[in-house]
Amino acid sequence: MSIAENLKVKRATKSSWAGLVIAIVVVALLAMGPYTFGRGMQQNLVILFSLIVLGTMWNLLAGYGGMVSIGQQAYIGIGAYGLVYIADTLGIDPFIAVPIAVIIAGIFSLPISFLAFRLSGGYFAIGTWVIAEVVKLIVEQMDVLGAGSGVSFMALTTLSPGRRIAYVYWLSLIAVVIAVAVTYLLMRSRLGLGFTAIRDDAVAAGSLGVRVTRSKRIVYVVSGMGCALAGAMIAANTLRVQPESIFSVQWSAYMIFIVVIGGIGTIEGPIVGAIVFFALQQWLSDFGVWYLVILGLLAIIITLLLPRGIWGLISGNGRIRLFPVGYRIANPLEKFALIKPAATPEE
């Protein structure tokens, strides 16, 4: 009678195959962007892409790793400054400089994690912010990085504007695909199962053999690298990096808003959240201060009415999953409802 020997576990669902097709079509259409969209539109979309990457990375950290950070702007800044320094000062091709900047952010995030992980909960959140401020203060002391007034990104200005904008656009589109794919593959792996367990109950996860601190460190480093990738995109898009804006805590507010309204703990949520946030930003930009008031109100309303965010509403509380990471049993289980616990663990 044992179901165990012929147990079938499904990782993908019908909606996920549909999701893969939709994702490929959307990315393919977006890849035509430079031929169909104007320059302004492309630059705007780069902002959207960077928001998707940032939301995805904050969700990885908080939604899957259970770490609420308000200091990820440290890595946005490291990515942005890293790109400018490596490309302009060291003279390395900007498109090679981007992955190098991302790796450097990863190298920085490792020792920082040892510092930040001494704190937990609210103290961790505040601690990460303090660390981000410290990174900003250090950068402001470095003349080679333009100190307090910042630097302009020159390496790309040798290209014609049309070409430059198109390259940055494609780079950003690739970045989105990488960020979402890495998050998906990570969450789908055994490590991801451990992350989800840690988020729900770290003590129980540890007692089942999950290496809690090591898992959290992996999430933290990956998230830092992803934020650095977004930082590099922002620098390449605006061609100017200033410490006050690139290390602004506002980035954390954006990331939290995107993840909360989109739906925390899902891969789709931050993508939806970033699109909504970006649209609101565009529409409300004429309203001045009211823009922030409306954003705040919206965040409160959605948190109260839709705890699983907009994606939770669209997906019918998780019934539709474009990026499934769970383990579904394919065998019929109904007939086991009446079976009493067996007397021994053996069959």
Site residues for another protein per CB under 8 A: 2-5, 7, 9, 190, 193-194, 196-197, 199-201, 203-212, 265, 326-329, 333-337, 339-346
Q: Compare residues 89 and 317 and give the one whose CB is closer to another protein.
A: 317
* CB of 304 or CB of 338, closer to another protein: 338
Minimum distance, C-beta of residue 311 to another protein, in the bound complex (Å) = 15
Beta strands in the chain, from DSSP E residues, in sequence order? 9-10, 151-152, 240-241, 328-329
CA distances from 184 to 63, 121, 228, 244, 280 (A): 13, 25, 19, 33, 27
User: Residue 326 CB, nearest distance to another protein (Å)?
Assistant: 6
Q: How far is the CB of 193 from another protein (least distance, A)?
A: 6
Q: Which is nearer to another protein, 200 or 244 (CB)?
A: 200
Beta partners for 9? 329
Structure tokens at 343: 């007397």
The distance of closest approach from Cβ of residue 113 to another protein in the complex, given in angstroms and rounded to an integer, is 17
Q: To 10 degrees, the CA torsion angle through 65, 52, 95, 159?
A: -160
Q: How far is the CB of 16 from another protein (least distance, A)?
A: 16
How far does the chain reach from its first CA to its final CA, in angstroms?
A: 9
- Which one, 113 or 128, has the nearer CB to another protein? 113
Find the largest Cα–Cα distance for the chain.
Answer: 77
For 189, the token pair is 């792996």
Using the minimum distance from each CB to another protein, give the nearer residue, 99 or 206: 206
C-beta of 227: minimal distance to another protein in Å?
Answer: 25
* DSSP helix/strand/coil, 67: coil
Which CB, 12 or 249, lies closer to another protein? 12
**Can you name the residues that pair with 329 across neighbouring β-strands?**
9
* Cβ pair 184, 29 in contact under 8 A: no
Render 311-330 in DSSP notation, one character per residue: HHHHTTTTTS-SS--S-EE-
Q: Which is nearer to another protein, 286 or 334 (CB)?
A: 334
How many Å apart are CA 177 and CA 248, to the nearest integer? 26
Rounded least distance, CB 1 to another protein, Å: 9
Burial class (CB within 10 angstroms; exposed 0-12, middle 13-18, buried 19+) of 51: buried
